[in-house]
Structure 1
Amino acid sequence: MSRAFSKISASLLAISLLAGCSTLGGKEASVAPEGPQPLTRDAIIAALNGGLVGGRIGTGLSDGEKRKALEAEYRALENTPSGQRVAWAGDGSGRRGEVVAAQPYRVGSQDCRQYSQTVFTPAGSQTARGTACRDTGGSWELL
């Protein structure tokens, strides 16, 4: 009986190993990794939905400058200590900016931060203020 049990166990083991080797159309099947997937830089920037620079203070900035400003907003929110400036420089037009995030705080189950973006141009400067909270996917979302 123990020999029969060993054969059955070996057969079950082989079947379960083979079951994991699925193919689709001659190509190996891919299995998505478990857990949340890391966000791409584009997805992170898109989650800010234009950020503060998407408003009035971004008027006149090139697309590249707006992207630099949004990346600075993300860096300030994500991992910059409270009150520390995150600077960005324009495309040689004399435009530049800086973002300053305040101390993080929690609202319910969301982590939030107030922050400001100041855009400097040859004509002067403008500042916008806002609040962003981390959504369930891990991105910062401007409120």
Structure 2
Amino acid sequence: MNARYQILTIATLLALGGCANTGGQSSFLNSFVPQSAGKPTVIEALNGGIVDPAITAQLSAEDRIKALEAEYRALEIAPSGQIVAWSSTQSGVSGEVYAAQPYEVGSQNCRQYVHKIMRNGETTTARGTACRSEDGNWTPLV
């Protein structure tokens, strides 16, 4: 899929998603899951995200995927400051991610973002920045 088609698709989805916004959290944002076409997924490109690996190591594989998907949705399609929530009914772990306004560094689009994970009554907050590479994947800056 070429970059122009991806941008057009995302712009269309954002426009449609904005029409259905009821003032609360958009169900569109929470239903969007990136798809892989036999290549490394966009989720893998996040390299584990911005949350401390010592914390994510304590999460189930399913919860780690949900957390990374929320990071991707916040970076890729969420308006600035809009929370993208995720939760696990089995483990009771939940989280929320929100990204700041995009900005450019050279030819790359970048966004600062925050990811909060709530687990066993404790909240862990991670802050970071990710930039979109030429292949369209978001990569956290270290």
Length-normalised TM-score, structure 1: 0.69
127, 134, 137: which one pairs with 1:136?
Answer: 134
Q: Does 2:97 correspond to 1:99?
A: yes
Contact (CA 8 Å) 1:100, 1:117: kept in 2 or not? yes
Runs in 1 of length 4+ with deviation above 6 angstroms? none
Gaps of 5+ in 2: 7-33
Distance 1:40 1:86 in 2: 18
Aligned length: 110
TM-score, normalising length from structure 2? Answer: 0.70
Partner of 2:54: 56
Superposed CA deviations along residues 61-104 of structure 1, whole A, max 9, x for unmatched, are 10000000000000000010111100001242211000010110
2:107 maps to: 109
Matched, 1:88 2:86: yes
**Structure 1, unaligned runs of 5 or more:** 1-32
Using the TM superposition, give the Cα deviation of residue 58 of structure 1 relative to its aligned residue in structure 2, in angstroms: 1.7
Alignment of structure 1 residues 34-45 onto 2, 5 Å: 35=2, 40-41=35-36, 43-45=41-43
Contact (CA 8 Å) 1:95, 1:122: kept in 2 or not? yes
Contact in 2 for aligned 1:65/1:91 (Cα 8 Å)? no
SS at match of 2:76: helix
Which residue of 1 is the match for residue 120 of structure 2?
122
* RMSD, aligned α-carbons: 2.1
CA distance in 1, matches of 2:89, 2:83: 20
**One-letter amino acid of the structure 2 residue matched with residue 103 of structure 1:** Q
Residue in 2 aligned with 1:14?
Answer: none
Counterpart residue type for residue 135 of structure 1: S
Identity %: 52
